[in-house]
A = this chain, B = another copy of it.
Amino acid sequence: MALKLKGVEYEYVEEDLKNKSPDLLKYNPIHKKVPLLLHNGKPILESLVILEYIDETWPGPAILPSDPYDRAMARFWAKFLDEKCWPAMRRACLSRGEEQEKANEEANEVVMFLENELKGNKLFWGDTIGLVDIAANLIGHWYGIFEEFNGIMQPPLITKDKFPNLCEWVDKYTNRSFVKENLPPKDKLAQLYMDRIQAAKAAAQ
């Protein structure tokens, strides 16, 4: 999303995380994880570090605000999304039964901080796409997937009555044509989710 925003041409290489490529192990021997940005033969690692690198390397729309305090707030919330919200929501989505109830409760508590921060739209940038929007991209997109495949998937964790501000952001963000054109296909992600649920069920038996 950041590279598209800056108008940078790039090659996207899909990584099979069950069978990691020699390149992934070579360029990210510590975490062996994606995303990994390779630029001039040098690897840049960790989602938020990559976003700041892109912002500092290429001209085009700014991803971080210019004021130091606003930058600190954007960094804080992007980190919160990356390290607290997303893992909590992931646990809630992939667990079942009693474990899920507990995971749901925890995720609700974490996401509520985001919801409260969104009151008066302080957090996200509004008319431009910034660091926090991109970090929240996963939530916005998955919310849409859960809504669309509601019959075969668990009900969405994020509902309009509980999280009105967050849902408003999701609507606004994912309906922007620039964002819409550049999100991965929902059916492919839904299939991935169903596969994971099946694998988790099989492992539990």
Binding site for B on A (CB under 8 A): 30, 39, 42, 44-46, 49-50, 52-53, 56-57, 68-69, 71-72, 75-76, 79-80, 113
Contacts and interface: CB of A to CB of B under 8 A. Distances in A.
A76 B113 contact: no
Contact of A68 (B45, B56, B72, B76): B56
Given A52-B72, A56-B71, A46 B79 contact: yes
A71 B79 CA distance: 17
A49 B69 contact: no
A175 to B, nearest CB: 29
- Kindly name the residue among A39, A53, A72, A76 whose own CB sees the greatest number of chain B CB atoms within 10 A: A72
Given A45-B76, A76-B45, A76-B46, A53 B30 contact: no
Nearest to A40: B69
A68 B57 contact: yes
A46 B71 CA distance: 13
Contacts of A113: 30
Nearest to A80: B30
Given A30-B113, A80-B30, A113-B30, A69 B44 contact: yes
Given A30-B113, A49-B79, A57-B68, 7 more contacts: A30-B80, A39-B69, A42-B69, A46-B76, A49-B72, A49-B76, A53-B68
Nearest to A50: B72
Contacts of A53: 68-69, 71-72
A135 to B, nearest CB: 13
A194 to B, nearest CB: 32
Contact of A52 (B45, B57, B75): B75
A156 to B, nearest CB: 23
